[in-house]
Structure 1
Amino acid sequence: MKKNILYIGLVALALQSCDYLDREPLDSISKDKFFSTAGADGLQQYCNNLYPKLIKGHGDPQSYNFGMMEEDFKSDNIYTWEYNSISFGLHVAPTGAKDTEWNWENIRACNDFLANYEQSQASEAEKHRFAGEILFLKTLDYFNKVKTYGDVPWYDKVVNPGDEDLYKARDPRTLVADNMLRDIDQAIEWLPMKSKVDVTRISKDAALALKARFCLFEGTWRRYHKIEGDTKFLQEAYNAAGELMKSEYGYSLFQGSTPSQAYHELFIQSDYANNPEIILSKAYDPSLGKGNNLSRQIGVGETPLGVSKDCIDDYLCAETGLPVTLCNCPGHTTHTGLLAELNNRDPRLLQTVCSPEAGEHTYYLKGHPANIANIVNTGAGGSSSTGYSIAKFYNAAEHLAAHHQGTLDAPVFRFGEILLIRAEAAAELGTISQTDLDATVNKLRERVGFNHKLTMSPAVDPKLEAEYPNVSANNATLIREIRRERRVELFGEGYRFDDLRRWACGKRLDASVAPRMGMIPDAKLYSPENITAMQNVLGTNSKGELDIYSKRVDTQARFEDPKNYLFAIPTNEISINPNLTQNTGW
């Protein structure tokens, strides 16, 4: 059952082609005939065609991208050797809509289904189930559009050539978000709870998770970008997350073989059907020509990437539970070497980053320090752009010579994220209690054996104050700590760029505010010649941290406020439709 979504229905593919509404080909079934004769299988096949277009996971099968991890390349979490143009604020307005979110094919297909599915011969329950899937997919597509552009046109019906709505202006995001909330609520009502067999199928649970994610984004965007209506969406996020936390849904955190590997093991599974944490996954199977390349690309290092020093510094000290800016432990507050820096931290650090020390957390480094993007050649491991090699999503069994043999399924929605949404929404609403923290953030810490609880009055970390300067609530310190937890727990899953934008903290991407630094080269691990080579190519700052881009990139990273909080509408679309206006700064 795991791989059902990998089979795309040929009937649905034909029905969603660009011309089927304009003419009736002699060799295919017409739209009206399809819906009037379709049973549940036909409706399911229609939905199946939209799954791979909107549920991205680890990227398209047989592709060379990193999927959800690639979204973190735009942020301050992961630095690629060749700089990311969006992270650097160097991207330009696209000319056409191809390969952008300004593509309305999927919305049109959703609206077409919703206008016609009642003609089906399926039962009412079956019709509602697949209409619920379509409403989920439509909400997901609109969520991507609102995150990208802000105001977008809202379409509730199929638009055909010649219709005036082809040339409508953008609707306010407030109207669009209200309509999205209405649609996802209807999906929740119609969809069945998650099947214990097929976690790759959209369910009521997945719709609740999407609602929680979307409403947290919208609520905090409005709060920190000064738009009315923030509390309503924060409350909806809190409620949706709370619904999924009820015992009847049956979710819990995956515990793994041991706390020292539980977090890492969560992300290297080829089937999530029996995993209590996964709400919705995307399946991959190389035996069907549907493999991914993720573990191979991480381990082999053909596209070098690495964790930023700034991200590493957000992991708490395991001895004291304090930020490393405050703990005064050897190797933490004062650097004494790479191993001392990485050890005795929140256990998720060494399940996310490879250690150059032999042992269970060395992963593909095999006890050697990382190659710094092939500047040095110091061992069997792949290259890193920062010296902090990524272990998350790395499965040693898939460190292969052949491409696209990856079997890892992608966790599209998981319970760990839901716990963080619940905690953040409660903190922003000002209703959070220690009971809430114990049921959310502290559960995530317990999973990995990190026995220092987050309390209602955490220590003030100057680093987080500088990172998130615009939090003004009475519980600002707690809100910042929940953001730390989110960065640590969701690293590499593609949320950080959106988080910085919704919190109005985009200046974290500006090199003048947050320079892009890597590790401090360790004389115990690298030879003097290796260290000199690194310093010649990269340079270092006053602390001795590698300066990843300054010597290699002519233009340093910048973030223009408000321009870079949103993206540009393709210029050709504005030329075609004079009612469209461009986003500020573009």
Structure 2
Amino acid sequence: MKTKYINNCEIYIAVIILALFTACKKNFLDTTPPDRVVPENFFNSASDLRIYLNSMYESRLPVYNAQTNVNNVLLDLQSDVLINSNVITGSLNQVSATGVAGNGGGGDAWATGYSRIRQDNYLLHYALPKVEKTPASAHYLSEAYFFRALDYFTLLKQYGDLPIVTDLIAYDDNGQLYTPRNSRYDVAKQIIKDLDLAIAGLYAKGQGEAAAGRVNKESAIVLKSRVALYEGTWEYYHGKKGSPFAVAGKDGREFLEMVEPAMQQLIATQGTRIFRTGTEPYNQLFAQNDLSNVDGVFWYRVYDPTKTTFSHNFYVKVIDNAASITDHLVDQYLNKDGSPQVVPNSYGELNTLSTNLDPRFRQTIWTPDRGPAAKIPGRDQFSLNLRYPVIAPVLSIGTNFISTGYRNWKGAVLTSVLAGRDVDEIFIRYEEGLLNLAEAKAILGTITQADLDKTVNVIRSRVGMANMNLATVAGFPLSAYKEELGFSPSESNIVNEIRRERTVELALEGFRLDDLKRWSVYEKVVNGYTPRGAQLQEFLTYFNDRTKLIADGFDVGGITFPLLNTSGGNANVAAFANTGRINPYFKSSQFQQGAQGFFIDPSRDYLTFVPLSQIQLYKAENVVLTQNPGWR
């Protein structure tokens, strides 16, 4: 029985409190005038802190549902492994052709981030001196430290250097309101400091105040490992490259060495326990109705059908109206025996790949050997009697299609109910922390087979994938590590193999873009990239054969064949001549074979611009707020 972590009444109260405490602002660091609230009457008990924190959960965690554009099948859309099916993915073109910064406007992440940090600081400022000294209060104070760390980390990834503000600033204290940006190194150190405070005071999952859906000790440990790996690798790789985003005098070792002590603390209690239930446990980990007792899932959103209209929309993963997976994910999978794919194998038919590759391929990407989608239990209302995804705007489904032929299947919810579902949503899980540990040790040159056995091989064992062997990996050919896939041939094989493992295990969960940037390979992967899909001939053979469609139960009445055309003015699909793989953007000259493809500016696009409106506010106070490299 799942327990909702936030009472609706408490949400209402929390919204009112936050509105009062944070309503008035001149800029992102402004605070509430003292005559607007009486905080002395609040923040006295653990219950007070919980109520205040509840709306912080609501504002920070995305609510994925079937009726909005906020959906969890698009988390990697800004990267190379996932593209929009019918519109060229704008985020992989130049972010700004001129490099001129904007004002931020309604989407100003800088202002939003500091508004949230103000909420964190408000609670800590008033609660720390007077709240009751109980383990429950300590837990909720630790939640505030966790959220402040998360809020700063979100800003760090976008902007790099940041003003550090850790206390409530007086309403008229412009000297504190307008402070220059601190080094990203100092920002990361502050984040780690907050996470250490959070880890010390939080209950473990399911204990004390760490109820279903609330932050817990385990999630704070994994987040610490994430931050330390992120900043450590950013400093390490950008420093080696001499990029405009390097941190002077820093090589990342300090942060990389933080990962192991944190994760060993977690391994000591968690061991090898991860979700292993069912015939496809990796796939169905993301389709669980109740994550409170699921091994390895630490932080998650609870969806309660009695309190919400819609759940998250994994249901669209078996409908052809989502984003399309690209060759940059498919080509990374190893064979089941743990050896690298030989390049022509990745051009094989889907069922062949399903049989030969890492089992996570089949549990991530739909393969036609599953049969007609509509005949799968729970999918009859939302799917067609077709065993292949539609790859062009044909049939009766209008513009809905999967342009690469690689349909997302990871976490497919097998239910006929669209609304009111109670499938929980994962935000932090153990497997990420294990991969963080393996990567940090590989970069530091201290990784052993024992380390692989308690990290990577624990993860692989869930699906029956061959173990990673340090000696075997050392013998893999250099051709296994192509720069365009995010590998660095100058790095050791084991570093590259753990990058591959991370890409496969965390596929479509929103990590890919951050990884490309911290590895300092963003432009190597993106610039000149023309996305490719599955073998076009496989789809032509199926969709242009009336008897195959009829055999699968599809009504062909009124349909003109061939459905898929490759020539003339009626062409609706095309392939790259050298591989036979689908060209999803064949109608654009920019994405023909050998054409420009996607582009980012490597001297600018690793970070976004600081909004000009913030720079002007600082200037009015005779303080310089610097702009990021490449922006003006």
Is the pair's TM-score, using the shorter chain for normalization, greater than 0.5?
yes
Residue aligning to 1:40: 46
1:96 aligns with 2:109: no
Counterpart position of 1:557: 598
Residue 325 (1) aligns with residue 342 (2)? yes
Aligned partners of 1:284 and 1:290 also within 8 Å = no
Question: Equivalents in 1 of 2:510, 2:134: separation in Å?
Answer: 37
* Structure 2 counterpart SS, 1:525: helix
Q: Deviations over 1:457-485 (max 9, x none)?
A: 41125242323464634xx1111111111
What is the deviation of 1:105?
Answer: 1.2
RMSD: 2.8
Q: Which deviations, in whole Å up to 9, do the C-alpha atoms of 1:274-311 show, x marking residues without a partner?
A: 10111111112233125334123333333x31210121
Go from structure 1 to structure 2 and tell me whether the alpha carbon gap of 1:301 and 1:558 turns closer, same or farther (over 3 Å shift).
same
Q: 2:541 matched to which residue of 1? A: 524
Distance 1:549 1:380, change over 3 A: closer
Q: Secondary structure at the match of 1:279?
A: strand
Q: What is the percentage of aligned positions where both structures have the same residue?
A: 27
Match in the other structure for 2:201: 190
- 2:320/2:407 contact within 8 Å kept: no
Measure, in 1, the Cα distance between the counterparts of 2:472 and 2:272: 29
Match of 1:217, SS state, is helix
Q: Deviations over 1:30-74 (max 9, x none)?
A: 222223xx3211111111111122233x5379643124x433001
Offset, 1:75:
0.7
Matched, 1:348 2:360: yes
CA distance in 1, matches of 2:496, 2:7: 40
Secondary structure of the 1:577 match is helix
Deviations 1:333-369 (Å, cap 9, x if unpaired)?
6x45332233321100111111122359996576511
Change (3 A) 1:469 1:298: closer
Match for residue 171 of structure 1?
182
Distance 1:366 1:430, change over 3 A: farther
Alpha-carbon distance between aligned partners in 2 of 1:336 and 1:354, rounded to the nearest angstrom:
15
The answer to whether 1:450 aligns with 2:465 is yes
Deviates more, 1:551-560 or 1:437-446: 551-560
1:125-524 correspondence runs (5 A): 125-163=135-173, 164-195=175-206, 198-226=211-239, 227=247, 228-246=250-268, 248-249=269-270, 252-258=273-279, 261-289=280-308, 291-302=310-321, 304-318=322-336, 320-325=337-342, 332=345, 335-358=347-370, 368-372=387-391, 374-377=392-395, 383-398=401-416, 400=417, 402=418, 404-458=419-473, 459-460=476-477, 462-466=479-483, 467-468=485-486, 470=488, 472-473=490-491, 476-512=492-528, 514-521=529-536, 522=538, 523-524=540-541
* Gap change, CA 1:379 and 1:337, over 3 Å in 2: farther
- Rounded to whole Å, the distance in 1 between the matches of 2:284 and 2:398 is 22
* Deviations 1:372-392, CA, capped at 9 Å, x for gaps: 1x4344999973121010011
Evaluate the alpha carbon distance shift between residue 574 and residue 407 of structure 1 in structure 2; reply closer, same or farther with a 3 A threshold: same
Check the 8 A contact 2:527/2:598 in 1, yes or no: yes
Deviation at 1:407, TM superposition (A): 2.4
Deviation digits for residues 77-120 of structure 1, max 9, x if unmatched? Answer: 11112233223333574423533430211100111111110354
- Aligned: 1:79 with 2:97: no
Structure 2 unaligned blocks of 5 or more: 25-31, 240-246, 377-382, 546-561, 591-595
Q: Deviations for 1:154-177, whole angstroms, at most 9, x for unmatched residues?
A: 101123443222222211111111
Amino acid at match of 2:257: Q
Counterparts of 1:125 and 1:229, CA distance in 2: 39
The 1:357/1:549 distance shift into structure 2, 3 A limit, reads: same
Residue from 588, 604, 618 that aligns with 1:577: 618
Q: Deviations over 1:503-550 (max 9, x none)?
A: 0010245341x3211112114323283442599345322211122225
Distance 1:350 1:431 in 2: 33
Aligned to 2:124: 114
8 Å contact 2:222–2:263 — kept in the other structure? yes
Preserved CA contact (<8 Å) 1:59 1:66: yes
AA at the equivalent of 1:481: E
Flag the 1:159–1:86 CA change in 2: closer, same or farther, 3 A.
farther
After superposition, the Cα gap between the structure-2 partners of 1:128 and 1:86, relative to the gap in structure 1 and judged at 3 Å, is same
Q: Distance in 1 between matches of 2:105 and 2:443?
A: 36
Secondary structure, aligned partner of 1:412: strand
Query: Partners of 1:231 and 1:298 in 2: how far apart?
Result: 40
Q: CA deviation at 1:489?
A: 0.5
Report if aligned partners of 1:325, 1:461 keep a CA contact under 8 Å in 2.
Answer: no
Cα 1:146–1:126 change in 2 (3 A) is same
Task: State the TM-score, normalizing by the size of structure 2.
Answer: 0.82
Query: How far apart in 2 are the matches of 1:54 and 1:74?
Result: 20
Distance 1:368 1:394, change over 3 A: same
* Distance across 2 between alignment mates of 1:405 and 1:381: 27
Distance 1:366 1:503, change over 3 A: farther
Counterpart check, 1:70 vs 2:74:
yes
In 1, the alpha carbon distance for the partners of 2:66 and 2:56 equals 15
* Distance of 1:154 and 1:447 partners within structure 2: 42
Cα deviation code 1:234-268 (max 9, x no counterpart): 1111221221111x34661111123xx11111110
1:516 and 1:252, CA in 2 relative to 1: closer, same or farther beyond 3 A?
Answer: same
CA contact (8 A) 2:393 2:400 kept: no
State how many pairs are aligned: 562
Amino acid at match of 2:362: L
Give the deviation of 1:433 after TM superposition: 0.6
> Structure 2 vs 1, CA of residues 33 and 198 (structure 1 numbering), >3 Å: closer, same or farther?
closer
CA distance in 2, matches of 1:51, 1:251: 29
Alignment match of 2:583 (pick from 547, 552, 556): 547
Provide TM-score, normalisation by structure 1.
0.88
Q: CA deviation at 1:121?
A: 4.8
Which stretch of the first structure deviates more once superposed, 459-468 or 280-289? 459-468
> Given that residues 110 and 135 in structure 1 are in contact (C-alpha distance below 8 angstroms), is that contact kept between their aligned partners in structure 2?
yes
| SS of aligned partner of 1:98 | helix
1:143-195 Cα distance to aligned partner (Å, 9 max, x none): 01000100111101123443222222211111111111111111111212222
SS at match of 1:285: coil
Secondary structure at 2:77's aligned position in 1?
Answer: helix
- Cα separation, 2, equivalents of 1:410 and 1:84: 25
Which of the numbers 25, 30, 33 marks the counterpart of 2:38?
A: 30
How far off is 1:450 after superposition? 1.5
1:544-581 CA distances to partner (integer Å, 9 max, x unpaired)? Answer: 11222252476842011121111112222222222212
Structure 1 range deviating more: 355-364 or 292-301 = 355-364
One-letter amino acid of the counterpart of residue 383, structure 1: F
Between the aligned partners of 1:293 and 1:191, the Cα distance in structure 2 is: 28
Distance 1:547 1:527 in 2: 18
Structure 1: how far apart are the matches of 2:50 and 2:589? 49
TM-aligned CA deviation for residue 9 of structure 1: 3.3
